[in-house]
Amino acid sequence: MIRKEAPSYPVSIFMAGDIAAATDYARRYCDDNGFCVTITPTVYVYTGGQEAGFIVGLVNYPRFPLSPDALWEAAETIAAYLRERLYQDSYTIQAPDRSVWISHRQ
C-alpha cells in the first residue's frame, strides 16, 4: 500500500454555459496538459433570473502535489481556456483564501 499526503488547497472555477461543451473542452485541456479536474453542474440564481452553468474543481492531488500558487495559476489558465471556447464574458475563481471575479464585458 502506498499513501501520500499533500496540503489541501481546493480551487473552484464558477462559469455559466453548456456543461457538455465544458466537459469536452476540459477533457481536451487535461489530455494536452497532463491534468485532472472535476466538473459539477450548477444553477446560478440571481435577481431577475437564473442560468445553467458548472463548477470546475481542482484539488491538490497527493500523487502529483502542487503549491497553492501553482494550483491557482492552473485554475486561471483553465478558466481562460474555457471562457474563450464557451464565449463567456466572466467567471469567478475561488480558493480558501480568496475569490476573484474576471470580466471581459465592455
Residue 4: predicted pLDDT: 92
Residue 106: predicted pLDDT: 80
- Name 54's bridge partners: 15, 41
> What does each C-alpha distance from 4 to 37, 62, 63, 65, 89 come to in angstroms?
19, 6, 7, 9, 39
Mean pLDDT across the chain:
96
Q: Could you identify the residue written with the cell 446560478?
A: 44
Work out how many domains the chain is built from and give that number: 1
DSSP annotation of 63: T
Tell me the whole-structure pTM to 2 decimals. 0.94
CATH number for position 76: 3.30.70
Residue 11: predicted pLDDT: 98
pLDDT digits 0-9 by tens, 54-73: 999 999 999 889 999 999 99
Q: Could you identify the residue written with the cell 440564481?
A: 45
**Among 13, 8, 4, CA closest to 68:** 8
- Containing structural domain, residue 20: 11-103
Residue range 19-43: mean pLDDT, rounded:
96
Residue range 9-38: mean pLDDT, rounded:
96
